[in-house]
Structure 1
Amino acid sequence: MDKYNLNFKLDEVPKYIQISKHIKKLIDSDFIEDGEKLPSIRKLSDLLGVNNDTIINAYKRLQVEGYAVQKVGSGTYAKRKEISRNFKKDYSDTLKKLSPSILNQYVDFTGETASSEFFPVSTFKMVINEVLDRDGAEALTYQELLGYEGLRNNINKYFWNNKLSTEDVLIVSGAQQGIDIVSKALLNVNDNIIVEKPTYSGALSVFKGRRTNIYEVPMLQDGIDLNQFEKILKKNKIKCFYLMSYFQNPTGMTYSLSKKKEILDMAEYYDFYIIEDDYLSELIYDENIEYKSFKAMDDSDRVIYIKSFSKIFLPGIRIGYLIAPVKFRESIQNSKVNSDISTSSLMQRALSLYIEKGFWREHITSLKDIYANRYKYMEDKIMQILCDKVCFNSPGGGLNFYLQIDSSSKVNSIDLFYKCKESGVLLTPGVLFHKYPKEGEEYFRLGFSQVSNEKIEKGLNIINNMLKSE
């Protein structure tokens, strides 16, 4: 009963509200377990020195707010609120309802893609015009099912040094579609899949939609915890392991080459396949990080490689590609056809020519310089402004930082989201990246792709004030 003790504040807040808030915190922090019976009205009123009506009103308030349920003839029981479904919808609705003009009034740390202000409009316009002059109306018609052959050839030539064949490459409408069509082709109800913990929320949604059994393995600084990974492999027949090899979303962590080799060996030994989401690997700022994908190291045809051009180029141009093991090539191609038949022919041709003329390499070089400076600025400001409020690991690349709220703070990332939103700052709580959302309550992600240095400092100061106020 000691945990229910409460020193009432001498202010205008009624005692029943103070009691309900105290019990809510106990439930949220696991001091009161989900389904645990709360003290009887008489016992709690005696403990706190209040009348029975005060406890009755406190319990009624908990029921209204979804933190308690009353069972006739039995008593009142704690009920942990389902934060994932309600908050995920609220978070999504918040971003959807903000028009570009209104969004500009916020410090927007939710961005996951390169800013459109750096998109080479004039160059890309010139390339599109050249494609139309060259190909005429044919540029607007559907292409072969695998995608425009010229683009597939250039992907092989400029990104894979002609180590693939054109038939190895399947054009898709971004990484999200790639994950979706692979899941439809490979995964059935009750198949077992392993994901990183935390992981990309879009991938979690796809795997849940396939009604798979999802196992999570914690992320370390150089990739997943291999000890926990192998324990799961020994006890379960795993079909696939979904991972993000560079600057993982949300943690920003990157797999070491040695860990990649160990995981590839395990894939062969335990007979599972790796779905590699090659996320933002173009944006490496730390010279100690070497680029070498799982797919490039794959000697046993165990890796399904997915790459999006949208994140780094422009989200509106929904183009990516997928490389599948021979064993699954036909089923994945059929899954793509059943999804949308063909990705935009004009955009495929324009991107192909853009790559061929060397503009892609120039754009990435320019973008990398811009974001390396912004990354360093934000890293310095986080250490300067939030040094005693959070801890984090510097990812060495990518477009975001993943912060852990100090254990001394009484605020969780959902509370922080709402407080910051009211003050003109948008951030992404860690609950969105976990199978069991409560595990992400002490984390939040800050992306710097859409914010200037001035806004970075302003936003971090507001976050600091929100954490300080607690």
Structure 2
Amino acid sequence: MEKYRLYFNENQSKYLQLAVHIKELIDENQVNDGEKLPSIRELAEFLMVNKVTVINAYKKLHQEGYAQQKMGSGTFAKKKEVGRSFRKDYSDTFKKLTSGQLKNVIDFTGETTSSNFFPVRDLKTVLNDVLDRDGAEALIYQHVLGYEKLRKTINNKFWEGRTDIEDILIVSGAQQGIDIASKALINVNDNVIIEKPTYGGALSVFKWRRANIFEVPLESDGVNLIELEKILKKNKVKCFYLMSYFQNPTGISYSYEKKKEILRLAKEYDFYIIEDDYLSELVYDENIKYTTFKNIDINDRVIYIKSFSKIFLPGIRIGYLITPKRFREAFQNSKVNTDISTSSLMQRALEMYIDKDYWIGHIDFLNKEYKIRYNYMKCLLEEKLKEFVSFSYPGGGLHFFLKINEKLDVSSLQLFYILKERNILITPGIMFFKNSKEGERYFRIGFSQTNCDKIEEGINSIYEILKERENKL
């Protein structure tokens, strides 16, 4: 019974503290899978608490998949299946949070810019101008490729007119772009390469397509080229999915030299690059220069995907995809089979927003605001957490990726659940690895939805938890 001993903090519900304590015992194998937990009366007497405290703690363990009740026999510990069960828990956490509750949460999980920063007045102006100009036509479906004027504006403003607008496809965000690319290119048992770790949404798409997935570890300036070529020599690879700037989750950006070499390998080994250009507008380090794979692709080997949702407004699901000419028809057919058309009104509004240079002003504003948060979080990580975690400096984007030092007996999953009880949310690393277990010591924290006060409060809590673990050594 001694392992169940717990000294309660009077500032938090006792049943929550007890549930967290027992979860830790199960995660750390101090309580084995299937082991019978103490009876309600026995544990209540041992801890000198009301029986209701134990009943509520056991109920919470059951709800979170850490215990099962057997009629007439008692409550038994249940070891959670790390990957799949946690992903459901993680998803359910956000589904259950109302907008009111979110205000009281320190949300380090955000992957998009805060809606608080969006200039609603500018959007109202643009929407009114579009409706005045186009009337009811603004509300009807467009051609499957997307609103032609938007595709022209994207070509002129972002690509200096170098792209054939017939190769530009308007999509409902980057996730749909990845899905369309996979449907157009990948068949069952085709070989696909991804970064290790990688964006969980892309990993899910390739798994759903039943592709053979190969991981290549990331270095400070992109994937390990030696490991990449080893895979290419042994396997006929169809495509390589990567994020060129501020990769999710690591924050790594590719060097120009690695971009050139990967493009050379794509031609030599006959594979295609799916480039997810993620958050490249948010640059805080002047040494980082913007050159996409697509910009230097002379052999038409790059499928380029860009989402406006991450930095424009998450609720407006718009992005675009540029296809290699040889796959134009296949991608168009894939888009038709996915959906008919992306919102006509919002396509027209976005076109005007970009054309009138509201876009440039908004990006400048975001860079100034998020640079402050980036530097504040960076300083706090150095001051508070450097002895407990390792991390690098992405120089842009919206997050940091941390690795818990091996000396500390705590996983990022345990950290997630402890912080969740304090209304602080992080993203454990298992979300980004093909093999969930490899991500157990990593976690991502972002600053897109948190101001400096909340950043400090959240990092102080992480410090307290990790410091407590160190003191137990």
Q: CA 1:24–1:164 in 2, change beyond 3 Å: closer, same or farther?
A: closer
Which residue identity is paired with 2:456? E
Which residue identity is paired with 1:436? N
Instruction: Tell me the residue number matched to 2:17.
Output: none
Q: Distance in 2 between matches of 1:27 and 1:248?
A: 37
Structure 1 position 379 matched with structure 2 position 368: no
Instruction: Tell me the residue number matched to 2:430.
Output: 431
Instruction: Tell me the residue number matched to 1:76.
Output: none
> Which structure 2 residues correspond to residues 84-233 of structure 1 after superposition, within 5 A?
84-233=83-232
Instruction: Tell me the residue number matched to 1:291.
Output: 290
1:165 Cα offset (Å): 1.9
When the two structures are superposed, what TM-score results if normalisation uses the length of structure 1? Answer: 0.85
CA contact (8 A) 1:247 1:398 kept: yes
Which residue identity is paired with 1:172? V
Q: Distance in 2 between matches of 1:344 and 1:409?
A: 49
1:196 Cα offset (Å): 0.3
SS of structure 1 residue aligned to 2:326: helix
1:298 Cα offset (Å): 0.3
CA contact (8 A) 2:426 2:443 kept: yes
Instruction: Tell me the residue number matched to 1:465.
Output: 464
1:9 Cα offset (Å): 5.8
When the two structures are superposed, what TM-score results if normalisation uses the length of structure 2? Answer: 0.84
Q: CA 1:320–1:205 in 2, change beyond 3 Å: closer, same or farther?
A: same
Q: CA 1:23–1:121 in 2, change beyond 3 Å: closer, same or farther?
A: closer
1:192 Cα offset (Å): 0.3
Q: CA 1:10–1:168 in 2, change beyond 3 Å: closer, same or farther?
A: closer
Q: Distance in 1 between matches of 2:254 and 2:293?
A: 9
Instruction: Tell me the residue number matched to 1:256.
Output: 255
Instruction: Tell me the residue number matched to 1:244.
Output: 243
SS of structure 1 residue aligned to 2:443: strand
> Which structure 2 residues correspond to residues 378-417 of structure 1 after superposition, within 5 A?
378-417=377-416
Instruction: Tell me the residue number matched to 1:356.
Output: 355
Q: Distance in 1 between matches of 2:141 and 2:254?
A: 38
Q: Distance in 2 between matches of 1:12 and 1:254?
A: 47
Q: CA 1:380–1:136 in 2, change beyond 3 Å: closer, same or farther?
A: same
Q: Distance in 2 between matches of 1:368 and 1:449?
A: 11
CA contact (8 A) 2:184 2:334 kept: yes
Q: Deviations over 1:172-194 (max 9, x none)?
A: 00000000011111101000000
Q: Distance in 1 between matches of 2:4 and 2:462?
A: 27
Q: Deviations over 1:254-274 (max 9, x none)?
A: 000000000000000000000
CA contact (8 A) 2:27 2:414 kept: no
1:407 Cα offset (Å): 1.1
Which residue identity is paired with 1:233? L
Structure 1 position 333 matched with structure 2 position 332: yes
Which residue identity is paired with 2:168? V
Which residue identity is paired with 1:439? E
SS of structure 2 residue aligned to 1:450: coil
1:249 Cα offset (Å): 0.1
Instruction: Tell me the residue number matched to 1:271.
Output: 270
Q: Deviations over 1:62-112 (max 9, x none)?
A: xx969xxxxxxxxxxxx9853110000000000111111101101110100
Q: Distance in 2 between matches of 1:24 and 1:340?
A: 43
> Which structure 2 residues correspond to residues 5-154 of structure 1 after superposition, within 5 A?
25=28, 82-154=81-153
SS of structure 2 residue aligned to 1:290: coil
CA contact (8 A) 1:183 1:207 kept: yes
CA contact (8 A) 1:27 1:80 kept: no
Q: Distance in 2 between matches of 1:156 and 1:292?
A: 16
Q: CA 1:22–1:123 in 2, change beyond 3 Å: closer, same or farther?
A: closer
Q: Distance in 2 between matches of 1:22 and 1:346?
A: 54
Instruction: Tell me the residue number matched to 2:281.
Output: 282
Q: Deviations over 1:401-453 (max 9, x none)?
A: 00011111101000000000001210000000000000000000001000000
Which residue identity is paired with 1:398? G
SS of structure 1 residue aligned to 2:239: strand
Q: Deviations over 1:16-74 (max 9, x none)?
A: xx9x988964699xxx9x9xxxxxxxxxxxxxxxxxxxxxxxxxxxxx969xxxxxxxx
Q: Distance in 2 between matches of 1:95 and 1:427?
A: 12
* Aligned-pair identity (%): 62
Q: Distance in 2 between matches of 1:447 and 1:230?
A: 33
**Over aligned residues, Cα RMSD in angstroms?**
2.3
Q: Distance in 1 between matches of 2:169 and 2:278?
A: 17
CA contact (8 A) 2:26 2:79 kept: no
Q: CA 1:22–1:427 in 2, change beyond 3 Å: closer, same or farther?
A: closer
Q: CA 1:27–1:439 in 2, change beyond 3 Å: closer, same or farther?
A: farther
Q: CA 1:381–1:270 in 2, change beyond 3 Å: closer, same or farther?
A: same
CA contact (8 A) 1:309 1:319 kept: yes
Q: Distance in 2 between matches of 1:23 and 1:456?
A: 30
Q: Deviations over 1:172-219 (max 9, x none)?
A: 000000000111111010000000000000000000000000000111
Give the number of equivalent residue pairs.
Answer: 415
CA contact (8 A) 1:382 1:460 kept: yes
1:468 Cα offset (Å): 1.9
SS of structure 2 residue aligned to 1:255: coil
SS of structure 2 residue aligned to 1:262: helix
SS of structure 2 residue aligned to 1:232: helix
SS of structure 2 residue aligned to 1:411: coil
Instruction: Tell me the residue number matched to 2:71.
Output: none
1:145 Cα offset (Å): 1.3
Structure 2: gaps (5+ residues): 7-20, 34-64, 68-77
Structure 1: gaps (5+ residues): 1-7, 35-63, 67-78
